[in-house]
Amino acid sequence: MIKFHPTEELLVKYVQGELDASLCLVIGTHIDMCPVCANTVKDIEEQVARSVFINELQGSASATPAQLPEAEMNMMLEQIISSHAPEKIVREPALEEITLEGKQFKLPPTLGRLGSRLGHWSKVPGSVWRAPVNLSGHDKINLIYMAAGASVPEHTHRGSEATLVLNGSFADEFDCYEDGDFIFLDQQHKHTPQTAQEDCLTLAWLNEPLQFTSGVARLLNPFSNLFFR
C-alpha cells in the first residue's frame, strides 16, 4: 500500500500547471500508480473549474449557474477543466518496460510516453546507475537504479528533491519506501538512502545538486552535479 503522497498544495499546483515539467512528470507518474491521488486530482480539477466558471459568469451578463440547464453547465465545466489541466507533453510511442542488469521493469503510462527521451545509463558511486529523462527546463529528472545492498552517501539538498519509487524498495533514517511512494525533501532533511536484499528503481527530480555531508563523499561535492543532477 502506498504510504507517502504529494501534499494537497503540490497537487493543486500540478492541476493549475504551476510546476516545472520535470516535477509534473514525477507527480503525474505517481498519480498513475495511486488511485487515492487520482481521485484527489479529479476533485481539485472540478473545484478549480467551478471557481473559474463562477468568476467568468460574475464578470459577464450571462445567467447564473442556478439558471443554466444542467447539461449546459456540465459541458462548460468540462471545457474549463480541459483548459486548466497540466500541459500535456506531446504523445510519443509508449515504452512499456525497460531492461537493466538483467531485470525488466514495467513503466507507468505517463513515464512510458517519454521513453524516447530516456538517456543512456551510467554508473555512479555506490552500485547506483542513473539515466536522465531529457526534458526542457532548469530542473533535472533521472531514473535511478540501486542494486541490492547499494547506498547513496549521506547528503542534504541545496534545493528540493522529489523521489518516486517505481519498483522495489529503499530505506533511509526516516522510513522504508515501496512501490508508488512519493518522497519530497528539502534543505532541512539529511539522509542516506540504501537498499537491503531487494533492488530499487526510482524516478528522481532535483532543482539543485545534492550536498554530501559525511566522510570522503564530501570530496565529491564540487562534482555532485555530474552524478546527481
- Residue of higher predicted confidence among 157 and 199: 199
Task: Say if residue 188 is in the same domain as residue 113.
Answer: yes
| 209 in Cβ contact with 142 (< 8 Å) | no
More confident residue, 26 or 81: 26
* Number of separate domains in the chain: 2
Q: What is the mean pLDDT of the chain?
A: 81
Model confidence at 73, pLDDT cuts 50, 70, 90, reads: very low
Mean pLDDT of 118-146: 87
Which domain range does residue 45 map to? 8-84
Could you tell me the three cell numbers for 67?
439558471
pLDDT tens figures, 9-63: 999 999 988 998 899 999 999 999 999 999 999 999 888 877 766 666 565 555 4
Cell 552535479 maps to which residue? Answer: 225
Considering the domain architecture, whether residues 123 and 223 belong to the same structural domain is answered as yes
pLDDT of 70 above 80: no
Query: Residue 156: its pLDDT value, please?
Result: 77
**102 shares a domain with 79:** no
Read off the pLDDT band of 115 (50, 70, 90): confident
pLDDT in tens, 162-216: 999 999 999 998 899 999 999 998 878 788 899 998 999 999 998 887 777 766 5
Report DSSP letters for 68-101, one per residue.
S-HHHHHHHHHHHHHHHSPPPPPP-----EEEET
Q: Are 148 and 197 in contact (CB under 8 A)?
A: yes
Find residue 168's DSSP bridge partners.
200
Cα distance between residue 66 and residue 198, in whole Å = 57
Domain with residue 156: its CATH number is 2.60.120.10
Query: What pLDDT is stored for residue 189 in this prediction?
Result: 79
Is the Cβ–Cβ distance between 119 and 131 less than 8 Å? yes
Q: State whether 43 and 19 are in the same domain.
A: yes
CA–CA distance, 39 with 201 (Å, rounded to integer): 25
Together in a domain, 215 and 104: yes
Same domain for 69 and 128: no
Task: Decide if 23 is inside a domain.
Answer: yes
